Amino acid sequence: MSATLSSVDDQFSANDHRYMARALVLAAHGLYTTDPNPRVGCVLVRDGEVVGEGYHRHAGEAHAEINALTAAGGSARGATAYVTLEPCSHTGRTGPCALALQEARVARVVVAMVDPNPQVSGRGIRLLEEAGIEVSVGLLEVDARALNPGFIARMATQRPFVRMKMAMSLDGRTAMGSGESQWITGPEARAQVQRLRARSSAILSGVESVIMDDSRLTVRAEQLGLDNAADIASRQPLRVIVDSRLRLPLAAACLRAPGRTLVVTTSREAEKHERLIDAGAEVQVLSADAQGRVDLSVLLEWLAANEDVNELLVETGATLAGAMLSAGLIDEMQLFVAPTLLGGDARPLFTLSGLTQMADQQRLTIHDMRAVGQDWRIIASPVVTGTSDDTKVP
């Protein structure tokens, strides 16, 4: 696939690459704020001059193309539009961008990638072409897809993109035997985690971890280190607690924190439901797996369909982490490794059963490894069983 995309990129000029690269930079400005919409940027160029540019800021507000057209005014006529995602062709909370580009009389539209939603994919491109506008597709598609892994996953697979974050010692431990875990990593790594939370639609944790850590699972503006931190933190990701037997304490910090807390369970005990709801939670009953626990595959599908969850950040302990890994539900891992040792009695990273031979090992593909303060961050994805180094990353 990468070779095909590379050959597509070669069909475009150096200027095409430059302006699409700028559109991608603009799209990234919406990394923390557009959810559940995709991050999109647009640049309008006429006679070698940028006449307008824009990006999508918040769901329900103007799309990238509209912001760029507004900035360009009459100069958009005869211009080339560089857009990181196929212009929409439907009327939702805003009007169709393909029609706006047509009415502005742009001469050419360069699209990084088609809309991943199979129900609308290609419609915006067809509308533009039927209006006599030249359309080119596929420039820097790999980069465009990397901006929106969650939106692509939700549209294409009806599941979120699942990213698991874990902090560990050099000997692969996440907490002392007592459960004490604050802090293994340094402030720079913790700031990175805050940004992972901020870009996510929801944060998933198991009830054991919540009981042990009593974490709020929130985005904290003061720890983000970003200029628009207050705006970012105003949208708290949904907190999802997997609690099959409804053991979450009513005094848990996450129930008093800003934003929503959803408790997912297999229990139908109405009295426990009512107590949790009175304490500030929402409760959702889902089907059980063979062990009587919440079926994690069903949970992911439910979150995508009912909560529009694009990116799901998993912050949990060894049991739930191991269950998700064993079920093949993890798309990406971000492992923060601290220069410390916690010893053999400390808690492990994963609980994985059935690994008795080297042939059973779960291999990972490492995509990036770099220093973050005094710690190391490893970005990896599980190797899918039966392949050499293929991954589940969209």
The pLDDT score that the predictor gives to residue 120 is 82
Longest Cα–Cα distance in the chain: 69
> Do 207 and 352 fall within a single domain?
yes
Contact by Cβ (8 Å): 116, 7: no
Helix, strand, coil: what percent of the chain each, to 5? 35, 25, 45
Give all strands (DSSP E) within the chain, no chain letters: 41-46, 49-55, 80-83, 108-111, 134-137, 161-169, 173-175, 202-206, 238-242, 261-265, 282-285, 311-314, 332-338, 347-348, 364-372, 375-382
Tell me the sheet residues that pair with 241: 205, 263
| Inside any domain, residue 323 | yes
> Do 352 and 330 fall within a single domain?
yes
> Do 138 and 200 fall within a single domain?
no
Please count the structural domains in the chain. Answer: 2
Contact by Cβ (8 Å): 83, 66: no
The pLDDT score that the predictor gives to residue 386 is 58
Catalytic residue from among 49, 53, 65, 130: 65
The pLDDT score that the predictor gives to residue 391 is 38
> Do 196 and 344 fall within a single domain?
yes
> Domain holding 116: CATH number?
3.40.140.10
Catalytic residue list contains 311: no
> Cis ω on the peptide bond leading into residue 36 (within 30° of 0)?
yes
| Inside any domain, residue 257 | yes
DSSP 134: E
Binding site for substrate: which residues? Answer: 167, 181, 183, 197, 217, 220, 315
Domain boundary among 109, 127, 147: 147
Task: Give CA–CA dist 274/122, Å, rounded.
Answer: 47
**Which stretches of the chain drop beneath a pLDDT of 70?**
1-9, 91-94, 180-181, 385-394
Amino acid identity, position 162:
V
> Do 281 and 334 fall within a single domain?
yes
| Inside any domain, residue 68 | yes
> Do 143 and 188 fall within a single domain?
no
Residues 314-352: tens digit of each pLDDT: 999 888 999 999 899 999 999 999 998 888 888 887 877
> Do 94 and 240 fall within a single domain?
no
> Do 92 and 195 fall within a single domain?
no
Q: Which of 370, 358, 313 is nearest to 35 (CA)?
A: 313
| Inside any domain, residue 95 | yes
The pLDDT score that the predictor gives to residue 172 is 84
Contact by Cβ (8 Å): 265, 245: yes
| Inside any domain, residue 391 | no
- The 3-class secondary structure across 341-357, one letter per residue, is CCCCCCEECCCCCCCCC
Task: Give CA–CA dist 25/31, Å, rounded.
Answer: 10
Q: At what angle do helices 14-28 and 64-72 cross, to 10 degrees?
A: 110
* Location of structure tokens 């047509």: 102
Q: Which of 38, 39, 57, 45 is nearest to 18 (CA)?
A: 45
Contact by Cβ (8 Å): 151, 121: no
Task: Give CA–CA dist 314/326, Å, rounded.
Answer: 14
> Domain holding 307: CATH number?
3.40.430.10
Contact by Cβ (8 Å): 361, 324: no
Look at residue 314 and give its three-state secondary structure: strand
In the structure encoding, which two tokens stand for residue 299, read together? 């949970």
Plot region of 187 (φ>0 → left; ψ -120 to 50 → alpha; else → beta): alpha
| Inside any domain, residue 392 | no
Instruction: Find the domain containing 309 and state its range.
Output: 159-382
> Do 120 and 216 fall within a single domain?
no
Contact by Cβ (8 Å): 109, 80: yes
The pLDDT score that the predictor gives to residue 82 is 98
The pLDDT score that the predictor gives to residue 11 is 87
| Inside any domain, residue 153 | no
> Do 209 and 243 fall within a single domain?
yes
| Inside any domain, residue 251 | yes
Look at residue 206 and give its three-state secondary structure: strand
Dihedral angle sign, alpha carbons of residues 156, 333, 201, 124 = negative
The pLDDT score that the predictor gives to residue 93 is 64
* Location of structure tokens 């006529």: 77
Tell me the sheet residues that pair with 348: 173
Look at residue 382 and give its three-state secondary structure: strand
> Do 257 and 165 fall within a single domain?
yes
> Do 68 and 135 fall within a single domain?
yes
Domain boundary among 116, 147, 178: 147
